[in-house]
Chain A
Amino acid sequence: MPDRPMISIENVSRYYGSYRALDDVSLEIGAGEFFSLLGPSGCGKTTLLRSIAGFDVPTAGEIRIDGTPSTLLPANRRPTNMVFQNYAIFPHLDVGENVAYGLKRLKLDAAEERRRVADALDQVRLTGLDRRKANELSGGQRQRVALARALVMRPKVLLLDEPLSALDKKLREQMQVELRSLQKAVGITFILVTHDQYEALALSDRIAVMFGGRIAQVATPKEIYQRPRTRRVADFLGGMNFLQAKLTSERSDSVSVETARFGTIRLERPKGFAPTNGHVTVGIRPERLRLLWDDERAPHELVGRVENRAYFGEVTHLTIGVDGLEQPLSMIETNDYGADDLPLGADIRLAYDPEAFVLLAEEGGSRQ
């Protein structure tokens, strides 16, 4: 939980007829935080962002911005500014005029306005491009103009609606680094909407994962990746091997489960864990399984055979069939020892760390 909430969202719902775009969402986002709303399309993340911006009015609930009740405040009177998905650069204005657009309302003296526009352009590394026409800009430049146009208003919160999705991979990765350092430099709250889990993981202080209008989990990137609360969250954030298991014993801080081939595993007990009938799902990330070569030994081993292999350059993805398991295991190996040369059908041994398993709640949006 943040010390001082910049944005408080309390029991916000948004219905379109009988469709629930947002279903009783509560969330606090701290001052100076880089916060991401992550989820598949239609999960409500954009609706939530637009409610914060003032473009959408919730059916129920309250939104406070820096302590001020703002649910019904129009967009032009909120201390928030937005970077739109397609950047929404004004096509009839040049770069400088785009950036100065909002400042015109403030009636600054000309020198002050020029200084702030120049500062904003410096910040996004577009120094000296203020006379450039909107249609002469590359995708990356358009994005920087949109950023500068919003930042020049000195908002308390900057809202970013999938700002990197229109860029190619290389530029996207470069802009991720820049966005992160820009946020550190200006120190204001950034709220990013994205469906790209790597982007959310790389940029955020905290992430809210959303499904079907509800928040499934709010946590730091590391926690959400390593300790996903539900199967769906685990799945959305990357590959995961799911295993059915039987609950054998329960303590206040841990539980033990019995799995088909991995034996008895002791797991940390998640907050609010309540199994319905003795059957639970546990998961382990593919990269936490490791091939054993030659006569290397490990405390926890399993035998299997290579069913499929996909080469990804720096790593190889392997599908390993294990007798007694319903689903083959997927694993990711670096290519240092020749995982990329393993023939299909080869018998292998793999090592795992029982600590790497997580206990996953069944579906249903658990509340924060």
Chain B
Amino acid sequence: MLLHRLRLLPFLPVYVAVYFLFLYLPILLLPVFSFNDAATTTLPLAGFTTKWYASLWGNTVLLQAARNSLIVGVCVSLISTILGICAARAITRYRFRGQRPATGLIMASLFLPEIIVAVSLLMIVLQMGLELSLVTVILGQVVFCIPYSMSVLVSGFEGFDRSLEEASYDLGETAIGTFRRVTLPVVAPAIVSSLLVTFTISLDEFILAFFLSGTEPTLPVYIWGQLRFAAKLPGVLALGSLMILASVLLLTAAEVMRRRAERRTQATPAP
């Protein structure tokens, strides 16, 4: 009925098209200009070139920033996923006092203004007399990534059927053996998905990294620095295009894994 009435409104598809254009056109322009043989981002396009990409290779500062981002990303994804596993396991497996408030407080940091969090973390770090370094970036981003990793993991663990572990004990397996042979393999896709999601977030994260990184910039911080120089813009566009590509690939992989996790844990149909 509703569908029928919707069809009578011809401007709806137009609206949807405009909506998507608005959302994605700017991002699509990025790779287009990154192959443009001109130092400015103006139309018409001047010609095709890959020199901006080639210039990235020789840039040692950029490569250093990329290395920093990689280190931070790997550490953040590992730490926040491990902490997320603990939290998600507690939330899905046990009933305890303060469960709801605890869950709420973990998730709430998603909605805190990031710049305020960054400033307060910076104040604490400086108060404690710590040097700003990649370590402080990692710590800050872990706080920020735990809600993401936890929600991915909770959805993966939720369907996990406790009787699978009981069945394993029942068949003679020990607690450690059960974890290794049943628990881990069944929830593995959710864990991989959480690693990928948090890595991607860390890779793109700017505000925390900007405040907490000191003299070791991550990629987004490096890009921000380059924007002051008009001549560097095409190189930044090339770098940005590569980062978008990496993010899309990582998030797609994460979603594939998350769905696989869901299928697995819910392969046992409810009676």
Q: Does A86 contact B (CB under 8 A)?
A: yes
**One of B14-22, B74-82, B168-176 contacting the partner:** B168-176
In contact, B268 and A91 (Cβ under 8 angstroms)? yes
In contact, A82 and B269 (Cβ under 8 angstroms)? no
Binding site for A on B (CB under 8 A): 161, 163-164, 166-174, 177, 181-182, 185-186, 263-265, 267-271
Q: Does A76 contact B (CB under 8 A)?
A: yes
A54 to B267, CA, bound (A): 26
A-B contacts, CB under 8 A, total? 83
In contact, A91 and B170 (Cβ under 8 angstroms)? no
In contact, B167 and A88 (Cβ under 8 angstroms)? yes
In contact, A84 and B271 (Cβ under 8 angstroms)? no
Candidates A75, A86, A106; contact of B169 at CB < 8 Å: A75
Q: Does A270 contact B (CB under 8 A)?
A: no
In contact, A135 and B263 (Cβ under 8 angstroms)? yes
Closest Cβ–Cβ distance, residue B99 to chain A (whole Å): 19
In contact, A134 and B174 (Cβ under 8 angstroms)? no
In contact, A101 and B186 (Cβ under 8 angstroms)? no
Tell me whether A76 and B268 are in contact in the complex, defined as CB-CB below 8 angstroms, given that A86-B161, A88-B161 are known contacts: no
Among A90-104, those with CB < 8 Å from B are 90-92, 101-102
**Given A88-B161, A150-B171, 15 other A-B residues pairs in contact with their CB atoms under 8 A:** A76-B173, A77-B172, A82-B166, A86-B163, A86-B268, A88-B163, A88-B164, A88-B167, A89-B267, A102-B173, A105-B177, A135-B263, A139-B269, A149-B167, A150-B170
Q: Does A352 contact B (CB under 8 A)?
A: no
Given the complex, which residues of A lie within 8 Å of B185, measured CB to CB? 92
A90 to B167, CA, bound (A): 9
A298 to B255, CA, bound (A): 76
Please, how many residues of chain A have a CB less than 8 angstroms from a CB on the other chain?
A: 32
Tell me whether A88 and B171 are in contact in the complex, defined as CB-CB below 8 angstroms, given that A135-B263, A135-B267, A166-B271 are known contacts: no
Candidates B181, B182, B267, B271; contact of A85 at CB < 8 Å: B271
Given the complex, which residues of A lie within 8 Å of B269, measured CB to CB? 86, 139, 166
Candidates B172, B186, B268; contact of A153 at CB < 8 Å: B172
